[in-house]
């Protein structure tokens, strides 16, 4: 069926919309798949995002100049081939990622310097992602050149295309994050994105052959060279890209205590970020393409971005209780709308309105290069050195400096008001930002943190706030060391309780003669400290670098514990350490951070993780998993099922303190409960005193009576629940299941009833 110009244009717009959908689905899936190789650390996520952006930049730059040499029909066919190529190479990326672990392990080895690890992760991620992302980056200049030849109005249509593609990206974020991963898993989501690309490419190819419009040839003239002024603009736009991705990193940190640490909160942050950019592009398309003073508009947009960023800090730090959605929109949307205005504006400013394919390629590449730098700088320099609020203010100053630089460039050609009053306004904003940057950090604490500080201060306690590339940490003590608080990204992670000590003493009591122990998750350091009392060599792996630095707030003997030659603190993702280390252990304890359904926690509940531990166990080795009853029956049951399915021998003990949960022990050797050894361990002076710091002593008979089940009993009790796997991280992606079914919170009574029913 032949289509007229209007119909074909609608189809092309739809194609680019769904191309954006697939692109963001890939980013989410690839990031998830690669952090399983690299570890769920900021290093890993930044390396993957940088590799993704590098491919887009290369593709846009490499293909941009070439697309201006093709006719409209050939451009549409090229676009179709590019989309097909993205889909096919994305299918190949799955097999590369699945087989890349050994290459990464051989290159990375034991944790080394941060720059070296970052470079290795970036190189390995690029190996998997470079081809599909280069092809993905080429689609924008190809389609822009096609539209330019068709309509000869680059200024209006670049902004519209960019908006359409970004709206498609929002759909991709929401579809993958809220629906598809839960329903069809990580691989199913990847296959869906591949299917979208193949469909888009096929339709584009058919449209090119079915095009009733004349085949318009490209202009024979060469695109004008970029002049010095435009080169300066590109450098400034690269700096603007640095601030844009920096804001995304920092706003995520700023908002996390407000919006929670579940995966849906992070998906919402990304979706709102993209929404602002899409709305800004539409704003430019509808109202600003006719503006003559484009340089002034770019300067003003940069000034406004900086001002909005500063306001975002105060919006979160206010003590006024504002609804979560309003905080999310208020922090992110104003500045990102202005970012959306900037891209089509800069494309048109570089070499005028003609040769849009080349312009898009150069502008997109410069902005992406800045974005790559921004991800690294914000995560590894600004956050640890300055903290979130001051880092945002510093980036705002960079945007204001861009505005000032543009106002100076335009001083000879601008209108009277622009030449005289506007630079003064920008300079005043810059001075105000510098003054604000000198303010103390306490000025920017959110209301919840201020209340905590006030409560601790009233109790004559001590508190500390630290920020690093992974998280923000609030730690406090009052009444000596009795009342202790540890919050990571606003979430209370642990307390000084008997359970964390039990996780050291019971595994030691169940093993005949342990010599080495691995503790995954430092927390308040109780398990690590308790294990060292037995004279074992103990390694503890902690994801957040600042957590061990507040250990002294919880224990008087912190200095001597950390200097114990038998102890070692390793800053790394626990799962990644297990994957990459060559060490072997008699005991491994795992205490995943709350909340139970938090983003990233499934990596410590998945079958694949438990299988990775088995080669790290010595003969007779034991794994102790604390299974906190902090969610619904089905959530906790699935996590227990994955543990039970992997280990050949399982023993389950119930918690008999205030925190509901069970201690699950797994081994490839029979687990023998030796009553005499349990008696010896739990009546020793060191263990009795250890428990007495937080609780009365633990009589050995309580240990025996807390035993609940073995592997066969657990398998029967949990037979109707699926396991948690890397492909189906069902405890992390739960929205539809929770929405359409109701279950109460897990209790020990529920588990005991299931065990009795299946005897």
CATH number at residue 715: 3.40.50.150
368 in a structural domain: no
Whether residues 178 and 241 share a domain: the answer is no
User: Does residue 2 carry a pLDDT above 50?
Assistant: no
| Span of 140-149, 648-657, 732-741 with lowest mean pLDDT | 140-149
Whether residues 121 and 251 share a domain: the answer is no
109 in a structural domain: yes
* In contact, 414 and 293? CB cutoff 8 Å: yes
Whether residues 266 and 333 share a domain: the answer is yes
The enclosing domain of 391 has a CATH number of 1.20.1250
Phi-psi region of 624 (alpha: psi -120 to 50; beta: other; left: phi over 0): beta
467 in a structural domain: no
363 in a structural domain: no
| Span of 223-237, 531-545, 628-642 with lowest mean pLDDT | 223-237
223 in a structural domain: no
Whether residues 176 and 292 share a domain: the answer is no
Domain that holds residue 304: 229-352+381-444
Higher pLDDT, 120 or 754: 754
Other beta carbons within 10 Å of 319: 10
Whether residues 430 and 513 share a domain: the answer is no
Whether residues 561 and 692 share a domain: the answer is yes
3-class SS at 726? coil
Mean pLDDT of 306-315: 94
Mean pLDDT of 359-372: 89
Whether residues 241 and 201 share a domain: the answer is no
Whether residues 542 and 422 share a domain: the answer is no
* In contact, 615 and 544? CB cutoff 8 Å: no
* In contact, 246 and 469? CB cutoff 8 Å: no
Name the domain count of the chain.
3
Q: Which of 213, 244, 272 is the last residue of a domain?
A: 213
Q: How confident is the model at residue 1 (pLDDT cuts 50, 70, 90)?
A: very low
Q: Which of 179, 213, 247 is the last residue of a domain?
A: 213
Q: Which of 163, 183, 213 is the last residue of a domain?
A: 213
Q: How confident is the model at residue 504 (pLDDT cuts 50, 70, 90)?
A: very high
CA 46 to chain centre: 9
The enclosing domain of 56 has a CATH number of 1.20.1250.20
486 in a structural domain: no
Whether residues 106 and 248 share a domain: the answer is no
367 in a structural domain: no
Kindly report the average pLDDT of the chain as a whole number: 88
| Span of 179-188, 401-410, 497-506, 587-596 with lowest mean pLDDT | 401-410
pLDDT tens profile 623-664: 999 999 999 999 999 999 999 999 999 999 999 887 899 999
Cα–Cα distance for residue pair 591/522, rounded to 1 Å? 9
Cα–Cα distance for residue pair 527/624, rounded to 1 Å? 12
Whether residues 189 and 255 share a domain: the answer is no
Q: Which residue(s) pair with 568 in the sheet? A: 539
Give, as one character, the DSSP assignment of residue 632.
B
745 phi, psi to nearest 5 deg = -65, 145
**pTM of the predicted structure, to 2 decimals:** 0.92
pLDDT tens profile 163-177: 999 999 999 999 999
Whether residues 190 and 261 share a domain: the answer is no
Cα–Cα distance for residue pair 535/558, rounded to 1 Å? 17
135 in a structural domain: yes
Cβ neighbors of 494 (< 8 A, separation 6 or more) are 486, 500, 523, 524, 526, 591, 594
Cα–Cα distance for residue pair 743/759, rounded to 1 Å? 23
* In contact, 678 and 701? CB cutoff 8 Å: no
Whether residues 184 and 236 share a domain: the answer is no
């Amino acid at each position: 069926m032949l289509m007229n110009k209007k119909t074909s244009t609608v189809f092309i717009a739809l194609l680019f919309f769904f191309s954006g959908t697939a692109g963001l689905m890939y980013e989410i899936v690839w990031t998830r798949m690669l952090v399983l190789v690299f570890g769920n650390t900021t290093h890993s996520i930044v390396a993957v995002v940088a590799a993704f952006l590098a491919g887009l930049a290369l593709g846009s730059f490499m293909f941009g100049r070439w697309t201006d040499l093709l006719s409209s029909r050939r451009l549409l066919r090229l676009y179709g081939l590019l989309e097909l190529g993205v889909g096919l190479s994305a299918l190949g990326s799955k097999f590369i990622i699945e087989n890349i672990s050994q290459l990464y392990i051989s290159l990375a080895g034991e944790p080394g310097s941060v720059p070296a690890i970052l470079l290795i992760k970036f190189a390995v991620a690029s190996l998997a992602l470079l081809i599909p992302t280069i092809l993905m980056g080429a689609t924008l200049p190809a389609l822009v050149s096609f539209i330019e030849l068709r309509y000869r109005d680059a200024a209006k249509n670049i902004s519209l295309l960019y908006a359409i593609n970004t709206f498609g990206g929002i759909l991709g974020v929401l579809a993958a994050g809220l629906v598809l991963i839960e329903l069809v898993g990580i691989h199913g989501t990847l296959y869906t994105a591949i299917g979208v690309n193949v469909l888009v490419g096929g339709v584009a190819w058919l449209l090119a052959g079915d095009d009733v419009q004349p085949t318009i040839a490209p202009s024979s003239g060469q695109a004008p060279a970029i002049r010095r002024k435009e080169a300066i603009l590109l450098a400034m736009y690269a700096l603007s890209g640095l601030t844009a991705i920096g804001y995304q990193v920092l706003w995520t940190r700023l908002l996390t205590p407000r919006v929670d640490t579940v995966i849906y909160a992070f998906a919402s942050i990304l979706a709102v970020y993209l929404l602002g950019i899409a709305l800004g592009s539409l704003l430019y398309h509808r109202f600003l393409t006719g503006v003559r003073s484009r340089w002034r508009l770019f300067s003003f947009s940069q000034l406004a971005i900086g001002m909005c960023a500063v306001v975002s800090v105060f919006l979160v730090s206010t003590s006024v209780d504002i609804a979560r959605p309003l905080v999310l929109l208020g922090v992110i949307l104003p500045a990102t709308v202005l970012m959306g205005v900037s891209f089509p504006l800069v494309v048109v400013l570089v070499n005028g309105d003609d040769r849009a394919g080349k312009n898009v390629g150069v502008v997109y590449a410069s902005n992406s290069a800045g974005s790559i730098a921004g991800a690294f700088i914000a995560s590894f320099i600004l956050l640890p050195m300055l903290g979130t609020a001051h880092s945002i203010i510093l980036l705002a100053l960079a945007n204001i400096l861009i505005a000032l630089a543009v106002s100076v460039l335009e001083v000879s050609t601008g209108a009277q008001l622009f030449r005289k009053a506007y630079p003064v306004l920008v300079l005043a904003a810059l001075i105000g930002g510098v003054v604000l940057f000198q303010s103390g950090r306490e000025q920017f604490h959110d209301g919840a943190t201020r209340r905590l500080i006030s409560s601790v201060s009233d109790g004559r306690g001590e508190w500390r706030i630290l920020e690093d590339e992974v998280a923000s940490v609030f730690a406090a003590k009052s009444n000596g060391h009795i009342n202790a608080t540890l919050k990571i990204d606003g979430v209370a992670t642990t307390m000084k309780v008997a359970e964390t000590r039990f996780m050291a003493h019971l595994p030691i009591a169940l093993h005949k003669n342990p010599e080495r122990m691995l503790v995954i998750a430092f927390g308040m350091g109780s398990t690590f400290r308790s294990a060292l009392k037995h004279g074992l060599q103990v390694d503890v792996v902690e994801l957040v670098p600042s957590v061990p630095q507040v250990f002294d707030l919880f224990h008087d003997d912190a200095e001597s514990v950390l200097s114990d030659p038998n102890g070692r603190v390793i800053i790394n993702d626990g799962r990644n350490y297990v994957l990459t280390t060559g060490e072997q252990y008699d005991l491994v304890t795992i205490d995943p951070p709350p909340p139970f359904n938090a983003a990233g926690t499934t990596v410590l509940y998945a079958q694949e993780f438990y299988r990775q531990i088995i080669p790290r166990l010595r003969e007779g080795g034991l794994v102790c998993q604390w299974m906190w009853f902090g969610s619904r029956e089905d959530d906790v049951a699935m996590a227990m099922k994955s543990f039970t399915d992997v280990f050949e021998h399982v023993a389950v003990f119930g918690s008999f303190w205030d925190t509901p949960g069970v201690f699950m022990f797994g081994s490839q050797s029979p687990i023998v409960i030796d009553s005499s050894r349990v008696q010896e361990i739990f009546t020793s002076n060191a263990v009795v005193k250890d428990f007495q710091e937080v609780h009365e002593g633990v009589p050995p008979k309580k240990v025996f009576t807390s035993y609940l089940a073995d592997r066969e009993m657990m398998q029967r009790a949990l037979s109707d629940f699926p396991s948690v796997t890397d492909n189906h991280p069902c405890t992390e992606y739960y929205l539809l299941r929770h929405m359409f079914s109701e279950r109460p919170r897990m209790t020990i009574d529920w588990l005991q009833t299931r065990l009795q029913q299946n005897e």
